[in-house]
Structure formats: structure tokens, C-alpha cells
Amino acid sequence: MPTSEPIDRRGPAHPEVSVVVPLYWSAATIGQLVERVCAALEERGIAHEVIVVDDGSGDNTWAVVEGLLARFPALRGIRLTRNFGQQAALGVGLEASTGDWVVTMDADLQDDPAYLPLLLDTAKAGADIVLAQWDDPVGSFSARWSSWLFYGFFNRLTGVSLPRGTGTFRIMSRRVVDHFLALPDRTEFFGGMVAWFGFPMTTITVVRHEREHGESGYSFRRRLSLATSALVSFSTIPLKLAAVAGLIVCAFSLLLGVVIVVLRFTGVIVTAGFAGLMVALLFMSGTILLSTGILGFYLGSLIKTTGRRPAGVIAQDTGSSFNRSGSDPG
């Protein structure tokens, strides 16, 4: 359970801002992203570190990261042993962060680093969480439609308010990050868990750029899997709906049985029909399987939570970026 006071994971010298970026097949964009992130923060004189987490990329992403270390002292690279998923990569990056404020963003250049100072200024004005909200959604029709549908269902079923048109790009205070790291189930739905705490949260409007390189790692199947995990993690309503469906089926079956018996004894039906019997059996069987499947999702989520496995396994870590930079914000 989250502690009442944040856990201070920082050393005597730490950056003001940590920027955490999960990487997956990001060789074409990571160099430009790191350069723009560092430029935006250095222009304001903000002490910072940039933590990139290679989530099992199959291209030369890690080689590019290693080549950037000499140019950008504030950069720290972490490579996972395999692809654990974006949520897990974010968790690993947040564990490594030491800043008073922590920014999370994607590596595809759709999130513009030029907004980093505005995120920080807005947070310092009195918000623990500031979300970057897109002024005009971009991406494929299926991605925009599924995102709109997901946020609608999530907000309605869980009671957690997540603004539509938001994603990974955000800034959080250290106490939010430390409360998040204290949770046992940190790989389910990062955005929902951060909002669940109830800390002051606001948004800024940003322009989200079209993707210039590669394709999104979130296929429809992966988006559906994430949505299912998110709903199961935050709401028991699917279980209640399964129970209601079971009651409806039982009531319908009982009513149908009474009708058939009455019609049989009144002579309307000489022999009960095989088709009607099969329809009733299939209907009941389908409902049972649906309820069992929903229960399985909850059991799977419970197993992952109680197992307390790490978010991801680190294969290589270039070490503390802030200490290598020789900077001292104090």
C-alpha cells in the first residue's frame, strides 16, 4: 500500500526534472528526441536527466543510445532483456528517476519536447500532475475511435476521471511517482493508476504531430488487451454484469420452462421441440463461458499483483546520468 509520506530515492545532488522515455524500435527518432529534450531544458537552465528504456527493440536502438552517451551527459540508457511492454518500461524508468519532477513521453516525436518548460511551469503553479491534451487527435481512424471509446468506458465504469485526448506525455511530482512505485501492480495501466491517487491534476493543450517514422507498436489487439487490463484493474462492474446476465438467463430459462409445460399439458405442443431445447442450452452455455472468462481476467490480474514480480528485467544500465554529467543543482 502507498505510504503516507513519499520515499526519498534521491541522493544529495539530483536533477529538478527527470524525463523518462520508453523505446521500442526507436533508432530513427531517439537521437533527435534526446537533442530536442536537452535543448528545451538547457535553454531554461533546468537541471535534468533523460532516462531512456529500450524495451527489447529488434533494431539497433540500443547501439544508437550508446552512441549518444558521449554527446549528452544527461542521458542514461537502460536496456531490458526482452519486450515487457510500454507500461513495464515506464515503471523501470520511473524507478531509476531521481528528479523533483518526472516527465514521461513517447519516443516517436509526436510529443513535442518544446512543451517541457510549460509542463513544469504549470505543475509548479499548483498541480501534482499535468497532462498534455491534444488539440486535434491524430492517427488512424481505428486508433482514434478505439481511444475515444476506451476513455468513455473507463471513466464511466471506474469513477476515475481521465481527460480524453491524453496519453503518455505528462509531468508528475516526486510524491506522485513515489506513491506509484509503492503499488504492487504497476504494469497494468500507468495513466489510470496515476489519476487514481486523486492528487491535483490539470491539462495543457498541445499540438500532437503526425508520426514521421515507423508505425505504432500498439496494434488493435494490444490496445484491446490494455483496455481489458485497465478495466479489470479498476472496476468490478464486469463481474457484476456477468452476475446480472446469469440471473437474467436463469429467469428466462425458468419462464421458458413454465411456458413449455403449460403448452404441453394444454395440448398445444405434443412433443417439445428439439430446436427450442438447443437454443436454450446454447444460450445458457454461452453465458456460463462468458462469466468464466470474465472471472479468468480477474484471477489473472490477481496473480500478477500478488506475484510481486519486477516490472522488467534489466540487461544493461549505463549508470546515473546526472552523476556522469557532473552537474549539481544545489
Nearest to 208 by CA among 88, 328, 108: 108
What single-letter amino acid sits at 321? S
pLDDT in tens, 130-175: 999 988 765 555 566 766 777 667 767 667 778 888 889 999 999 9
pLDDT in tens, 298-325: 666 666 666 567 778 999 999 876 655 4
Position 141 scores a pLDDT of 59
Query: How many whole angstroms from its chain centre is CA 160?
Result: 14
Torsion of CA 302, 305, 306, 307, to 10 degrees: 120
pLDDT in tens, 232-247: 666 666 766 766 776 6
Position 161 scores a pLDDT of 78
Identify any residues that bridge with 80 across adjacent strands, giving them in sequence order.
Answer: 314
pLDDT cut 90: percent of the chain above it: 44
Burial classification of residue 283, based on how many CB atoms lie within 10 Å of its CB (0-12 exposed, 13-18 middle, 19 or more buried)? middle
User: Residues 15, 322: contact at Cβ < 8 Å?
Assistant: yes
User: Cα–Cα distance between 40 and 231 in angstroms, integer?
Assistant: 36
Q: Read out DSSP for 169-208?
A: EEEEEHHHHHHHHT-S-TTS-HHHHHHHT---EEEEEEPP
User: Cα–Cα distance between 280 and 269 in angstroms, integer?
Assistant: 17
Mean pLDDT, residues 104-124 taken together? 96
Position 66 scores a pLDDT of 97
- The answer on pLDDT for 78 being more than 60 is yes
pLDDT in tens, 28-68: 999 999 999 999 999 999 999 999 999 999 999 999 999 99
pLDDT in tens, 213-226: 656 555 556 666 66
Interior/surface letters 41-58, b for 16+ CB within 10 angstroms, e for the rest: beeeebbbbbbbbbbbbe
